[in-house]
Amino acid sequence: MPAQDLDQIVNLCKRRGFVYPSAEIYGGFRSSYDYGPLGSLMLRNVKDAWVRTMVQMRDDTVLIDAAILGPPQVFEASGHLANFSDPLVDCTVCKRRFRQDHLDTRDCPQSMKGCQFTEARAFNLMFKTHAGPIEGAGAEVYLRPETAQGMFVNFMNVLQTSRKRPPFGIAQVGKSFRNEITPGNFIFRTREFEQMELEFFVPPAEGPQWYEYWCKERLDWYVNLGIPREMLRIRAHDADELSHYSAGTSDVEFLFPWGWGELEGIAQRTDFDLSQHASHSGQKLDFFDQATNERYVPFVVEPAAGANRTMAAFLLAAYDEDVVNDEPRTVLRLHPRLAPYKVAVLPLSKKDTLSPLARDIFQQLSRRWMCEYDETQAIGRRYRRQDEIGTPLCVTVDFDSLEDNAVTIRDRDSTEQVRVPIAVLETEVAGRLGL
């Protein structure tokens, strides 16, 4: 059963090295987290799985990596300087600050009873800094609040160098920064996070059909990587929720322990972004279709996902507790593509007679997959640890391996164990992982 309590995942992440509070030895830094040995691998796997589906397996999408810092002109054109703000209110009693649109008296915790709030005021979410050696004397720059603008301002560069034509996409994975008023719920909402965004440029008349296409494709991506269908939904935005540029937006939402929360937004951005940047820069950002002798500014459909909150959703959905051999165990039933380690190589004993063979097997498998080598503690406890961190397969090297040149493969989910000749081990592992 998926985790019912966020604390189950928070505790596992800290105990096993997925996620740590940032600067913990100094008391922590609110809403900031460091990804440990397992978490950094899993987060990379989430991003790699997205790139694999959105870029590698398609012939109509390319990948870029744009700069994090940007000049004010970019964000003036995009509307972020004028419109990228949340309504901020202060409590005159407890002195805390809140987003007004997140305050609902039906859901307020007991600790907020008696709060008295000021009038709402706009609070811009962008981080601002200065480029140059002397503050105030250099250029004013911003940390990007989304990766999207780097794709829009590079539209013509990509169009000319990639030989693509609409419909085609520009994809990007990278850091974004938002000075959130009320970050929280572990890694779900933080001020520093990673996005996985696609800007898909289409002929204007094809916008609605591509919007429907991407809504289905993106929902299926989460299901195919192991999230139960009943824990996901597509929710269309009401008219009063739509961004100023959107002709229609839907969210892929996940059923978190606190309720439904957004994993990804799919937006019909029309031609707003390219037209805005063309107007502000004085550069043409359009496309001439030689087949139809037509020039137009492409419309954009944008699937934009948060990598960190997506990782949290995969962890919550994969969490399970069961009983094996009359002993309780915690297991992360992660899809093999997402698991930090694909295989753990476990010699039955630390004795020198087993270690050379076990390390040879580790080296062999590590050329193809991320693996772990563990030779301490009883074998049962090592199995439990690998179950808890989501490792799909364990390869056990025992004393019989020296005689029969075979090892035992143990499956995480079924706990089934089979004997496999070392000569075909890599092929067997590949088949079982399905990668």
What is 281-299 written as a DSSP string? Answer: H-----EEETTTTEEEPPE
Range in 106-115, 166-175, 217-226, 379-388 the model is least confident about: 106-115
Residue 324 is predicted with a pLDDT of 86
Q: How many CB atoms lie within 10 A of CB 409?
A: 19
Is residue 336, in this structure, part of any structural domain at all? no
Percent of the chain with pLDDT over 70: 89
Is residue 373, in this structure, part of any structural domain at all? yes
Q: pLDDT averaged over the chain? A: 90
Q: Residue 180 pLDDT more than 90?
A: no
User: Do residue 107 and residue 72 come from a single domain?
Assistant: no
Q: Residue 106 pLDDT more than 60?
A: no
pLDDT (average), residues 115-126: 67
Q: Residue 90 pLDDT more than 90?
A: no
* Per-residue pLDDT tens digits for 276-289: 999 999 999 999 99
| Amino acid residing at 319 | Y
DSSP class of residue 114?
T
Split into its structural domains, the chain has a count of: 3
* Structure-model confidence comparison of residues 139 and 394, the more confident one: 394
Residue 240 is predicted with a pLDDT of 83
Q: Residue 124 pLDDT more than 90?
A: no
Q: Residue 24 pLDDT more than 60?
A: yes
* Structure-model confidence comparison of residues 321 and 30, the more confident one: 321
Give which of 395, 424, 427 is closest to 409, Cα–Cα.
395
Q: Residue 118 pLDDT more than 80?
A: no
User: Do residue 369 and residue 394 come from a single domain?
Assistant: yes
Pairing of β 249-256 and β 327-332: unpaired
Gap between the Cα atoms of 20 and 35, Å rounded: 6
User: Do residue 259 and residue 311 come from a single domain?
Assistant: yes
User: Do residue 112 and residue 60 come from a single domain?
Assistant: no
Q: Residue 243 pLDDT more than 60?
A: yes
* Structure-model confidence comparison of residues 116 and 253, the more confident one: 253
CATH number of the domain at 409, please. Answer: 3.40.50.800
User: Strand runs (DSSP E) across 3-135, as ranges?
Assistant: 19-21, 33-35, 61-63, 69-70, 85-90, 97-99, 121-124, 127-131
Residue range(s) defining the domain that contains residue 101: 85-124
* Structure-model confidence comparison of residues 364 and 114, the more confident one: 364
Is residue 327, in this structure, part of any structural domain at all? no
pLDDT (average), residues 78-107: 62
Residue 105 is predicted with a pLDDT of 41
Is-contact 98 91, C-beta < 8 A? yes
Residue 150 is predicted with a pLDDT of 96
CATH number of the domain at 289, please. Answer: 3.30.930.10
pLDDT (average), residues 383-408: 97
Q: How many CB atoms lie within 10 A of CB 233?
A: 14
User: Do residue 429 and residue 310 come from a single domain?
Assistant: no
- Long-range contacts at 73-78 (CB < 8 A, ≥ 24 apart): 73/280, 73/281, 74/149, 74/153, 74/277, 75/126, 75/142, 75/145, 75/149, 76/280, 77/276, 77/277, 77/279, 77/280, 77/281, 78/148, 78/149, 78/152, 78/273, 78/276, 78/277
Give which of 154, 161, 174 is closest to 51, Cα–Cα.
174
Is-contact 170 158, C-beta < 8 A? yes
Residue 110 is predicted with a pLDDT of 47
Q: Residue 88 pLDDT more than 60?
A: no
User: Do residue 117 and residue 260 come from a single domain?
Assistant: no
User: Do residue 92 and residue 48 come from a single domain?
Assistant: no
Residue 107 is predicted with a pLDDT of 42
* Per-residue pLDDT tens digits for 261-272: 999 999 999 999
